[in-house]
Amino acid sequence: MHKLKERKMKLEKGRVPVQVGLENGPFQRFVIPISYLKNPYFQRLLDRAGEFYGYQTSGLLMIPSSVEDFLHLERCIEKVANKQKRHHCHQLVSALSYYAG
């Protein structure tokens, strides 16, 4: 319990921890900016996570995605934030939805 408390204390303000992985594989922990939660691409993934894991969960937010695809989504979100092309993000979110379905 003490180690969990230490982990929580190290979390930067404005960031939230998530667990990313597919049902049959290992999960990896990421700490993402809270702003991602408002991003439409990430919201679609959150909707799929809710359908997959349910909406009443305790603990870390679970994201049903391969780590590689999640990292790609992060890059897409950053590109969109920097006013770069969006079409690759749209295709990726559709693919991620397939994993969660």
Structure confidence at residue 21 (pLDDT)? 93
- Give the residues of the chain that fall short of pLDDT 70: 1-9, 84-101
**What is the distance between the alpha carbons of residues 41 and 46, in angstroms, rounded to a whole number?**
9
Rg (CA), the chain: 14
Instruction: Tell if the pTM clears 0.75, that is, is over it.
Output: no
